Structure 1
């Protein structure tokens, strides 16, 4: 399917609201996306942006005690959108998913947000009900584009949104990614009108836009503003330690730097989570 759910056990759910008459400062144009891994999935995170909005990221440091992740939240609504994690926790608690304690369970739900508030009404942002509904909708078929946390996203001067892809390596390990692109930098080379590193995605058979469209793109004003951040989840079925999982998150930022220019600016909150389900044993590095 060429999506993150090609990694066995990974499910994705969206919940958003997009009003037909939404405009700058008015109406709904925001949502959430949740990634649900199978039990026993190791998690890690790496944040490189200068303006992050995150939840439970310190918990994922390899030196800390909690090893496994029950869900990852990606949301619009800036810091207000982190409230959607409450609904995810409720959904998980109802299913007894989380760290077992004497009185019940505590679900582990790290998350990150994009700043999309001015795209619609300032008070139109995700709530706990959005998180719960996204979990209810989770499955292996992943909608992309203007859905979930990507509803209010933009990429430079272009519309942003949700994207996903996967690859199976010669070793048999599968790696998948899901990204919410709301970047300060450009996702497109202004000289060609094609995505940066387009030569690496020839399977999409992209064609160069006509010269007049490329010229029009070059005339658009600089997109740098406070409406920025790219957040992502990279998942693999490899059996990785928390430290090795952290290296996956770190390496994923190289991909952001190659495809969004510039990336990791003081205006971005670029954050990548990594998940390792442990289904495939891999030999230790030499």
Structure 2
């Protein structure tokens, strides 16, 4: 795996990530669960023309639910939404969800688990092999803060990115804000992190240079001529029917309300559109969820200034996560990974 300074969504306090996948013998798909056991304020923005989602209406600011504990990102197209039920059961077993009172003398909850899917049907050979509830429960059970598995794992197992192998990518950054309430003598530190499952109709790679559209702080040399030729062939070798999607989560340690969390998800789409070209087509189901874990209060004075800084970071980290998804992918099926085509780029980055 390439060693680049992207950071991780798990740098946001309370966020854990887990994957489960199957590859080989007709399978190439998987599920990724983002778990926040302490709870987080949610938001969402759906931009793609062909989304496959669950529980997005519950996240609208005017609706009841104010806190969730998990998000499910998965392969399997609309069939894969079944994986969210496994995440729901995993949370229920731990008493995490919307409380509905006592039943038979025991407190009961209904976990709200928003979900989004990518299209990867048949990429391992059989279109009937797709995630079910067991994928979701296993992904949730694998969730860790020290998650080191990225690329062609979890929901990114069957992903393709403009003809290349896609994957799961992540990034994080720290936003430092002046604490206006203390006279500006100290700083407030806010962490913003993103996770993207890159399976776009468009490409993360600029065919003219052979490098990512959004290098996101990486210092990479152009691939050698033979590699660029092979890369262009891979980028253009696609089936006539494109059924794709980039989905993901942007999270922050700041305390935001639902409208602000949704705005964060909305601006993160700007990063998606910079990293993936084109984005938001009729056959992309581009969906980004927002999570605010509420660990840090924003300044009361000039709150909009603090929010703008968080929104900028959301855009930048989601762009970096999309780039990381493709750079960290490995070849596991018919689509070749960027790392196997442009080996010289990886050598020069160390």
Calculate the TM-score normalised by the size of structure 2. 0.77
Give distance in 2, aligned partners of 1:135 and 1:285: 35
Structure 2 residue aligned with 1:173: 190
Give distance in 1, aligned partners of 2:127 and 2:266: 33
Give distance in 2, aligned partners of 1:80 and 1:141: 30
Q: Say if 2:200 is the partner of 1:186.
A: no
- Residue 219 of structure 1 deviates from its aligned partner by 4.1
Structure 2 residue aligned with 1:195: 212
Give distance in 1, aligned partners of 2:304 and 2:168: 33
1:191-230 pair list within 5 angstroms:
191-198=208-215, 200-202=216-218, 205-220=219-234, 221=236, 223=238, 225-230=241-246
Structure 2 residue aligned with 1:112: 116
- Check whether the contact 2:37–2:96 (CA below 8 A) recurs between aligned residues: no
Structure with the largest fraction of helix:
2
- Residue 87 of structure 1 deviates from its aligned partner by 1.0
- Residue 140 of structure 1 deviates from its aligned partner by 1.1
Calculate the TM-score normalised by the size of structure 1. 0.93
- Check whether the contact 1:182–1:227 (CA below 8 A) recurs between aligned residues: no
Structure 2 residue aligned with 1:153: 159
Runs of 4+ in 1 over 6 A off after TM superposition: none
- Check whether the contact 2:122–2:128 (CA below 8 A) recurs between aligned residues: no
- Residue 222 of structure 1 deviates from its aligned partner by 6.1
Give distance in 1, aligned partners of 2:203 and 2:39: 37
Give distance in 2, aligned partners of 1:6 and 1:81: 28
Q: Secondary structure at the match of 1:37?
A: strand
Structure 2 residue aligned with 1:100: 99
RMSD (CA atoms): 1.4
Give distance in 2, aligned partners of 1:225 and 1:258: 24
Q: How many corresponding residue pairs?
A: 277
Structure 2 residue aligned with 1:48: 47
Deviations 1:202-259 (A, max 9, x none): 2xx3221012322333345264633310001111000001001111000000001001
The structure with more radius of gyration: 2
Unaligned runs of 5+ in 1: none
Q: Say if 2:9 is the partner of 1:4.
A: yes
Give distance in 1, aligned partners of 2:265 and 2:82: 24
Structure 2 residue aligned with 1:83: 82
Structure 1 residue aligned with 2:280: 264
Give distance in 2, aligned partners of 1:217 and 1:36: 36
Q: Secondary structure at the match of 1:41?
A: strand
Structure 2 residue aligned with 1:232: 248
Give distance in 1, aligned partners of 2:223 and 2:87: 42
Q: Secondary structure at the match of 1:108?
A: coil
Structure 2 residue aligned with 1:57: 56
Correspondence for 1:122 among 98, 120, 127: 127
